[in-house]
Amino acid sequence: MDGAIVRRKIKSTLLRLRHKSICGIVVELMAIWQKIKWKVQERRQRSIRNVINSLGLFNSEWYLLNNPDVRRSRTDPLTHFMRHGFEEGRRPGPNAPPRQLVNLEPDADIIQPTFEVRPKSTLVSKSLGPEALDQLSEAVLYEPELGDPRHVSHVLVPPLHDPVDKAEREMRALIPADTYDTIICVPWIRQGGADLVAGLLAGSLLRIFPGHSILLVRTDFSHFERPDWIPSEVAVVDLSPVFTDVGREAAERLLYSMFIGLAPKRIINVNSRLCWSTLERFGRRLVERIQIFAYLFCWEIDANGFKQGYPREFYPTTASILTGFFTDTDFLLRDLVKTYSLPALLRDRITPLYSPARETLKTLLLAEQFINKRPLRERPLVLWAGRLDRQKRFDLVLAIAAKMPDVDFRCWGAALLDAPPDILKLPANLSIQKPFKSLDELPLDQCDAWLFTSGWEGLPTLLIDLGAKGIPIAASAVGGVPELITDETGWPIFDIENIDEYVCALRTMIKNPAIRIERARKLQALVDQRHSPQCYDAELSRLLGASAAPAVL
């Protein structure tokens, strides 16, 4: 809107408002100002629309396809990009990087695009100078399709350094071989049960397929605290620094290009967030040539009791894409079917794959060995171990110990995911030590019971290994734990917030050695029947041998 026209409108309005109250004048002037502001914004947005369209960088169909939230809101895609998408770093089209359009400002009636050079930009716009025009004029002699260079308003040229290309070269230098039979993706290798399962999985693959080449990739963090869990024949690489440097979107494309370049027979994701998001984005392309599996262990439960975690975040978007899913419990399979009302086709892609015990079965149960040593110690002993995170409910252990002052509690653990609990005021009968590396470090042959208090779980490998050794267990009956600890094989606690139930179970165990031995023996038999390495190998072999690329729905 021309400035002179605006001034005339304001002047005529002031003359018309001479006889109105001051308040009325202010209200009407503000209304006029809002109209003027809206028209200026509308004109500016229309100008920017014209610039974006003229550059050919925005693709409405592509933008809607890659931004489901915009599609669901039924907002005009270009309007959304100008108002929100640009600031959020969304790409306007397949041929443009995020924030390529750094500044688009109208100047009078001429719209001139300007671009800011940024370190991670992949395209920079510059106006054509006389030298460039001369070079183009000469090039036309050899390639007529270039056309008249005088009609070129701007040119896009690559920067001197492409950070994604640099990251790809760094990634390739870290990978020892040109191809692998299986790629296993993990976020890290720390003290968690999923990290241990990744090592057990790799060991099983080596037994099933002798000479099998396996690459284990740490994608999210560099932690490598338990190298002893990974078979020495497995190539282990840490690509997390490379992925972190380029940002999530570029990291997904890099991981996708690694999968394509290494051409494995299968990919197995064991809790890698980057791998999950990459499969969500590129899984339909990958599964046409590579078998893709993923482990799901359990829901995470937030502070308000709602289900979170990978089963909620990634399973719904990949259920119809991946070759198959492994769970470590039948509980999670049933819960996924119920939660998502899965049809038979998707239900059949989920298979409970019970984790194998690492411990060899004891001919003489540790519960039996204990009977001969008990007279040497007057006070009963209860053991506990786990991460000092919210999930493992160490607060329950403190409360239980406080109610049993005549019993000693020895605990092992450290906080990994959450802030550590306040342990300055421990009960006098409770001690805590740093995490152990082997169950052999613990006084298992001197304890009356093992206490397990998690708030949510899959089926912890710790309980399986304790069962193989013949240890009596009292455990919170959450997730898949009741598939192992039942009224016949241990002491399940169903009301996990009820301290008295734990206390009652522990008192019963302490007073009845014969019952402890009987239930420990049944627990060991269940582990032998369902959790032996031979059972795991046979089921994994069946799943990998029979699996073909699924029909992508």
pLDDT in tens, 129-149: 666 667 766 776 666 666 666
Tell me, what's the pLDDT at 122?
39
Same domain? 250 vs 330: yes
Question: Going along 270-420, which residue ranges are E strands?
Answer: 291-296, 300-301, 307-308, 324-327, 350-352, 381-385, 408-412
Indicate the residue type of 2: D
- The answer to the question of residue 393 being in a domain is yes
- The answer to the question of residue 160 being in a domain is no
Measured between alpha carbons, how far is 536 from 465 in angstroms, rounded to an integer?
14
Q: What is residue 96's DSSP assignment? A: S
- The answer to the question of residue 193 being in a domain is yes
Neighbours of 497 (CB within 10 A): 11
- The answer to the question of residue 121 being in a domain is no
Give the pairing of strands 449-452 and 430-433.
unpaired
Same domain? 274 vs 226: yes
- The answer to the question of residue 126 being in a domain is no
How would you write the pLDDT of the chain (553 residues) with one tens digit per residue?
455 665 666 666 656 555 555 555 555 656 666 666 666 666 666 666 666 665 566 788 888 888 888 887 778 888 887 777 776 667 777 766 544 443 444 443 333 333 333 333 333 444 556 666 677 667 766 666 666 666 555 555 555 456 788 899 999 999 999 999 999 999 999 988 899 999 999 999 999 999 999 999 999 999 999 999 999 999 999 999 999 989 899 999 999 999 999 999 999 999 999 999 999 999 999 999 999 999 999 999 888 888 899 999 999 999 999 999 999 999 999 999 999 999 999 999 999 999 999 877 665 566 566 665 555 557 999 999 998 888 999 999 999 999 999 999 999 988 776 666 667 778 999 999 998 888 989 998 889 999 999 999 999 999 999 999 999 999 999 999 999 999 999 999 999 999 999 999 999 999 999 999 999 999 999 999 999 999 999 999 999 984 544 555 5
Contact 502, 354 (CB under 8 A): no
Gyration radius of the chain's alpha carbons? 32
Same domain? 399 vs 327: no
Measured between alpha carbons, how far is 486 from 282 in angstroms, rounded to an integer?
42
- The answer to the question of residue 416 being in a domain is yes
Contact 476, 452 (CB under 8 A): yes
Same domain? 347 vs 382: no
Same domain? 385 vs 328: no
For 247, counting Cβ atoms within 10 Å of its Cβ (0-12 exposed, 13-18 middle, 19+ buried), the class is middle
Please give the structure tokens belonging to residue 180.
């692998």
Contact 88, 67 (CB under 8 A): no
Q: What is the span of the domain harbouring residue 233?
A: 166-356
For residue 113, give the H/E element and its range: strand 110-114
Same domain? 374 vs 255: no
Same domain? 57 vs 99: yes
Same domain? 317 vs 389: no
Measured between alpha carbons, how far is 476 from 457 in angstroms, rounded to an integer?
10
Same domain? 341 vs 284: yes
Tell me, what's the pLDDT at 156?
52
Same domain? 215 vs 260: yes
Contact 240, 218 (CB under 8 A): yes
Same domain? 378 vs 277: no
Measured between alpha carbons, how far is 323 from 341 in angstroms, rounded to an integer?
19
Choose the final residue of a domain: 356, 377, 408.
356
- The answer to the question of residue 553 being in a domain is no
Tell me, what's the pLDDT at 550?
55
Same domain? 170 vs 283: yes
Tell me, what's the pLDDT at 63?
82
Number of domains in the chain: 3
The CATH number given to whatever domain includes residue 395 is 3.40.50.2000
- The answer to the question of residue 161 being in a domain is no
